[in-house]
A and B are shown apart, each in its own frame.
Chain A
């Protein structure tokens, strides 16, 4: 939509939400359904399924491409590796793995003396997990072998397993590891979606990480944001917030943003910051807001994400089938490590594979071309493991400005001893599995994935930024709801838990607004 044709913004909404990803979107829908007047400002554009190309380079617009600086001993790549920008946030290109956190993920400190406990447990999130899974339409097995109690089965049967998933299934069976089709937020059969229409079943086109062109994947634009708009929420795309408005008492009163090159302001009763674990602290640090604890930007975490790749005889066509097919959580707790990890099969798009191979192995010349020409025979497997919060991992503002004239964030990240041990354990296991699968030219890519922490929740205002429901401890009118709030990283992919937290924070905010009305 051209900027000129966008309607005027509703004046002084009850709630202004900044960011429309996994943290912002479910909450926006919940508030709209409760009859509140809500507006969301989203820096990125709308990306309706019909406009999505089956091409990684053409889809670069789904990522946050303003330059970020990666520092520390294990620098985390951003851009296409770890960011999102658009109506739907990072869920536009997420792989749609949707495991639940386990009950013991929330109590790592109690159980091991290390890490940080969450201020509530699995019981508290369970009904929200159920609700999200049913609403977005998760496909999964009838019986899931791991984790806490489930009261409701997955809504749809599991999706078909691609080549790598089948190799992993066989190799795991040989070493006695249980596997299961993963829970995946792509539809194995069509589903009616409120505010959107019928979403079709997945066509196995394998490009989930470059956006779904069919609407089969439960990105938030075709799920919670469609519901939000059906209930009157106004979503403004191409609107990047540059500052929060505060009054003399220190209360947050709205936001300043740039849309189509023009600066505008919007006042609101309450502001929910849901800009993700990099942009949320970046905004707050610029004004030193909500930071009496000194914890804004602190405790940055990224999951242990080592991948192992190899070439097999079979023609696998790694571009086919949902990339997130098979899972094993038998390594949820492993000896000698605090926490644990899960194993997942991979599908991979060609540019992603090729650039990772070049960066990861440093191969060039004819050897590079030879390897890349065998793309159809590439099989991948990876892990996702917990990461402890450390003082040495943090985000700060640098004095370099990006193309918009805003200070670039510098993100320091170095694995601790625990993450190194976990990576080594996982790599050895996966190399064994791939040897059993007959893979050649096996190579490993040490990696960290997802951006977590930087504005954590907790009971104690001296060591956390927000309270257990999402309200800033020290700044009235401000709530935070995104991956920045996780006190610990959890040994599972974060999006489903984030959506559940989003509904929970929305319920708390609705109650709070009623009580203070």
Chain B
């Protein structure tokens, strides 16, 4: 299970096919945890519950809501936003406020319905949040492992690039 996945990831990251800068970045991300600093506890609860429905994941393993909170707290941007949107943090707050107050405790079906409603009402904030969660999810080494993505093991290069021409380390990596 999860501990096995983690062991497989760590073994790959410590192996010779990974360059030192790649290894440093991915090991740090594998174990990243964040303290809530930007959102209120109530907002953060909404965010975490929404994040789990939008990009299904185990928050104990991958702290996607914490990642968003951390970025906003640090004031980092992705370099742009729609001119007619609020700044990221305000836009996300408005989106979370547009969810039912008891969102986190609703049944999954009702949660999805509420999310579909905000996707229609606040399309840009929804799109930005979804993209940010997806980035955190896909860039996480556990996700790479589960999806069989081996691109980070590139130190020896990839002599074969045609369809179905896999190196052993690619064919064997992942569940």
Contacts and interface: CB of A to CB of B under 8 A. Distances in A.
A369 B21 contact: no
Given A80-B78, A203-B154, A349-B151, A54 B135 contact: no
A67 B80 contact: yes
Contacts of A362: 119, 126-127, 130
Interface string A203-224: 1111100000100000000000
Contacts of B154: 54, 203, 205-207
Interface in B96-143: 112, 115, 119, 126-127, 130-131, 134-135, 137-139
Interface residues of B, number: 54
Nearest to B84: A71
Given A163-B163, A354-B138, A365-B112, A55 B146 contact: no
B8 interface: no
Nearest to A402: B77
Interface string B36-56: 000000000000000001111
Contacts of B159: 204
B147 A375 contact: yes
Interface in A309-357: 314-317, 319-321, 349-351, 354-355, 357
A142 interface: no
B31 interface: no
B133 to A, nearest CB: 8
Contacts, number: 177
B15 to A, nearest CB: 13
Contacts of A372: 134, 138, 147
Contacts of A52: 21
A369 B53 CA distance: 11
A68 B80 CA distance: 4
B22 A316 contact: no
Q: Give the residue among A81, A163, A358 with the most B Cβ atoms within 10 A.
A: A358
A355 B162 contact: no
Contact of A317 (B21, B156, B170): B170
B158 to A, nearest CB: 4
A354 B79 contact: no
Contacts of A368: 54-55, 134
Interface residues of A, number: 65
Contacts of B76: 65
A351 B135 contact: yes
Given A162-B161, A354-B138, A79 B80 contact: yes
B148 interface: yes
A403 B147 CA distance: 37
Interface in A37-91: 50-58, 63-71, 75, 77-81, 83
Contacts of A320: 151, 158, 160-161
A43 to B, nearest CB: 13
Contact of A63 (B79, B152, B164): B79
Contact of B163 (A64, A81, A166, A204): A166
B163 A316 contact: yes
Nearest to A55: B25
A70 B81 contact: yes
A283 B57 CA distance: 44
A398 B81 CA distance: 13
Contact of B152 (A55, A75, A160, A398): A55
A156 B107 CA distance: 61
Given A52-B21, A354-B138, A203 B157 contact: yes
Contact of A57 (B139, B160, B162, B166): B139
Given A57-B135, A351-B135, A358-B131, A203 B83 contact: no
A373 interface: yes
Contacts of B112: 365
A79 B78 contact: yes
Nearest to B164: A315
Interface string A399-436: 00001000000100000000000000000000000000
A58 B163 contact: no
A7 interface: no
Contacts of B157: 203-205
Given A53-B21, A58-B21, A64-B79, A314 B134 contact: no
Contact of A351 (B19, B139, B148, B170): B139
A67 B138 CA distance: 24
A319 B149 contact: yes
Contacts of A70: 80-83
A319 B154 CA distance: 10
Contacts of B139: 55-57, 350-351
Nearest to A216: B157
Contacts of B163: 163, 166-167, 314-316
A373 B146 contact: yes
A207 B137 CA distance: 19
A359 interface: yes
Nearest to B80: A78
A161 interface: yes
A373 B147 contact: yes
Given A54-B154, A351-B138, A163 B79 contact: no
Given A79-B77, A203-B158, A359-B131, 16 more contacts: A51-B21, A53-B19, A54-B19, A68-B79, A71-B84, A77-B80, A205-B158, A314-B163, A319-B150, A320-B151, A320-B158, A321-B158, A351-B135, A354-B138, A373-B146, A376-B148
Nearest first, the 7 closest Cβ-Cβ pairs linking A and B are A79-B79, A203-B157, A319-B151, A321-B161, A58-B25, A71-B83, A78-B80
18 contacts: A53-B24, A54-B18, A58-B22, A67-B79, A68-B79, A69-B82, A71-B83, A79-B77, A161-B161, A205-B157, A213-B19, A315-B163, A316-B163, A362-B119, A364-B54, A369-B55, A373-B146, A373-B147
